[in-house]
Amino acid sequence: MRLLLVEDENEMAAALSEALLKFDVVVDRVFSLDLAREAVADPVHDAIILDRQLPDGDGLSLLPHLRASQSGVPVIVLTARGDVNDRVMGLDAGADDYLSKPFALEELLARLRAVLRRPPAMAPAVARVGQLVFNFGNREVSVGGQPIELRRRELLVLETLMRRHGRTVLRSALEEAVYSFDDEIQSNALDSHISRLRRKLDTHQAAVEIHNIRGVGYLLKAVE
């Protein structure tokens, strides 16, 4: 998991990053609103922890920008102010949760787990690329109303590519989506899922291409 931490207090940020690393959470840290806006332009984070009192303004002002531009990436707002009005303001602005400083790391971790379980509010229920329709609700894949039968791992690979269509998805992210920690991964297993997937999509004239970005990952887009 990769987190964006927007926090200007060095001590606090360093302690949090170090603590989160123990839970295999990779933390990218920025210390101003300006840098936060830059960081969210590239939607690589699974969650954002956002301080309110930043040197160039109120952290909450990132939220409308974030919600308009992309994703339902979950945001937990941190603040020294903990009164009810502040919390309501934060949640109304689009935060998923709110945590008053000082807080116990365990509480932050519990809240992170909770927001990550929630389906992103803005995520569409259905993605369409080319002629291909992926229904995230019932995980049905179809072209022109005709369902396509996929094996479980092909389905998981396709789901991950469809959620981020038009962007390169890292090999590691695809492998994470398909295999649990306990699975043994053959080095070319992902490539064989992809090639079977390509064949099935071609057969059904889905009008999508899965590009191999050498050494990086795969990208799904409509055939032009």
Name which of 78 and 174 has its Cβ closer to Ca ion.
Answer: 78
Window 100 to 119, contacts with Ca ion (CB under 5 A): none
Window 48 to 67, contacts with Ca ion (CB under 5 A): 51, 53
Name which of 51 and 154 has its Cβ closer to Ca ion.
Answer: 51
- Size (the chain), residues: 224
Residues 6+ away with beta carbon under 8 Å from 99: 76, 77, 78, 79, 107, 108, 111
Taking CB under 5 A as the binding criterion, the range among 35-43, 46-54, 106-114, 132-140 that sits at the site for Ca ion is 46-54
The only residue of 3, 6, 8, 40 in contact with Ca ion, by rule CB under 5 A:
8
For 149-180, what is the HEC assignment?
CCCHHHHHHHHHHHHCCCCEEEHHHHHHHHCC
In 3D space, the residue among 164, 160, 153, 163 whose CA is nearest the CA of residue 196 turns out to be 153
**Number of residues engaging Ca ion in binding (CB under 5 A):** 3
Name which of 39 and 155 has its Cβ closer to Ca ion.
Answer: 39
Where do contacts with Ca ion occur on this chain (CB under 5 A)?
A: 8, 51, 53
